[in-house]
């Protein structure tokens, strides 16, 4: 069962580029490295650097494998990372205040 | 520090998150041609079996297996992100099963009906009808599912 989400602003996630990356990963069970790179508009090295920062704190898991003979690097948000992201979203919602219907 | 974050900055951050969610959810995973290809392969296979000629059964069976593998491999290779099932929800799964149920029902009805009338190729004809429904309905199903998933993703971000 899912843990209750407590609002917790996350400075690491909130950096603009990492927010984009984590938001992409949050919508997916896993995402291809190239998909993230092309979606966010980063070079391979720039993305690797961002992912390393997230991996160091245990927010993402990076797996290198093959699909057929083609190497493929896939990234997924860890449980810890997903919880941190949900807490960050809750913190943003808290800053905004009550939901406004559109 | 986040204590200084203004409301508009938080709104902008949530908008960015929403846009990235949409990017993942709307990335085409199953191309429209997939449905036509599967339908065509089904017709080829059934036609081979109903011909009752061993050579035709062998050839058509081989074409079916190789074709199915090729189609699935292309889709797998194109797949760049695995969407979370939670965005489908009960209604999404309901749509999928409902679509499959309609195809099965139509196929069986046409097939048995044609068989009862003495038609020579009832299963092939039935699968041809199903193939048309697949080709037309598959892309529609995918669009409905994408809209559903985007709406569910937005709902999680709109909650306070």
B30 touches chain A (CB under 8 A): no
Give tens-digit pLDDT for B116-133.
999 999 999 999 999 999
Residues 6+ apart with CB under 8 A from A11: B2
Torsion of CA B98, B105, B68, B41, to 10 degrees: -140
Mutation target among B1, B24, B27, B79 for the A interface, most CBs of A within 10 A: B24
Contact indicator for A24, A31 with CB cutoff of 8 Å: yes
Interface predicted TM-score of the whole assembly (ipTM), two decimals: 0.89
Q: How many residues does chain A have?
A: 102
Average pLDDT over residues B92-106: 96
CB pairs A-B closer than 8 Å: 91
Mean pLDDT for the stretch of residues B79-83? 85
- CA-to-CA distance for B81 and B74, rounded, in angstroms? 14
Nearest-Å Rg of the Cα atoms of chain B is 22
Query: Is B153 within 8 Å of chain A by CB?
Result: yes
Is residue A32 helix, strand or coil? strand
Read off the pLDDT of residues A68-99 as tens digits, 9 standing for 90 and up: 788 889 999 999 999 999 999 999 999 888 65
Q: Which pLDDT belongs to residue B85?
A: 82
Does the pLDDT of residue B4 top 70, yes or no? no
pLDDT at B82: 86
Residue from the list A28, A39, A70 with its beta carbon closest to the beta carbon of B84: A28
The yes-or-no verdict on residue B111 having pLDDT over 90 is yes
Partner A contacted by B4 (CB < 8 A): no
Radius of gyration for the alpha carbons in chain A, expressed in angstroms and rounded: 15
Region A7-27: mean pLDDT is: 94
Which chain B residue's Cα is nearest to A73? B80
**Binning pLDDT at 50, 70 and 90, where does residue B35 land?**
very high
Per CB-CB distance under 8 Å, the chain A contacts of B13 are 14, 19, 92
Taking residues B14-34, what's their average pLDDT?
90
Q: For residue A2, what pLDDT is reported?
A: 54
Q: What is the mean pLDDT of residues B46-54?
A: 95
List the single residue in B24, B73, B159 with the smallest CB-CB distance to A99.
Answer: B159
**pLDDT reading at B160 higher than 60:** no
Contact A28 B2 (CB under 8 A): no
| Shortest Cα–Cα distance, A35 to chain B (Å) | 6
Give chain A's end-to-end CA distance (angstroms, integer).
31
Residues of A whose CB is below 8 A from B19: 23
Closest chain A residue to B20, measured at CA: A24
Q: Rounded to the nearest 5°, which phi and psi values hold at B130? A: -60, -40
Minimum mean pLDDT among A1-15, B95-109, B124-138: which range?
A1-15
- pLDDT reported for residue A14: 93
A chain contacts of residue B2, beta-carbon cutoff 8 Å: 9, 11, 14, 91, 95
What is the pLDDT at residue A98?
67
Mean of pLDDT values over B69-88: 87
Which range (A59-73, A82-96, B61-75, B108-122) has the least confidence? A59-73
């Amino acid at each position: 069962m899912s843990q209750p989400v407590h609002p917790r602003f996350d400075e690491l996630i909130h950096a603009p580029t990492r927010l984009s990356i984590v938001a992409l990963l949050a919508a997916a069970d896993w995402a291809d490295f190239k998909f993230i790179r092309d979606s966010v508009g980063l070079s391979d090295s720039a993305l690797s650097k961002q992912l390393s920062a997230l991996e160091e704190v245990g927010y993402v898991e990076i797996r290198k494998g093959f699909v057929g003979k083609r190497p493929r690097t896939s990234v997924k948000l860890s449980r810890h990372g997903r919880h941190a992201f949900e807490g960050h979203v809750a913190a943003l919602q808290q800053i905004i205040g009550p939901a406004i219907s559109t | 520090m986040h204590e200084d974050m203004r409301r508009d900055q938080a709104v902008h951050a949530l908008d960015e998150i929403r846009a990235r969610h949409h990017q993942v959810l709307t990335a085409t995973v199953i191309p429209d041609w997939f449905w036509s290809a599967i339908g065509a392969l089904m017709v080829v296979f059934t036609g081979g079996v109903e011909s009752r000629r061993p050579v035709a059964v062998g050839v058509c069976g081989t074409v079916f297996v190789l074709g199915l593998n090729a189609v699935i491999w292309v889709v797998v290779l194109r797949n760049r992100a695995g969407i979370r099932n939670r965005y489908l929800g009960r209604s999404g799964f309901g749509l999928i099963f409902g679509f499959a149920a309609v195809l099965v029902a139509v196929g069986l009805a046409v097939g048995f009906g044609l068989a009862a009338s003495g038609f020579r190729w009832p299963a092939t004809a039935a699968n041809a009808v199903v193939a048309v429904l697949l080709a037309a309905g598959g892309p529609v199903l995918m669009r409905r599912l994408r809209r559903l998933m985007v709406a569910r993703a937005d709902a999680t971000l709109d909650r306070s």
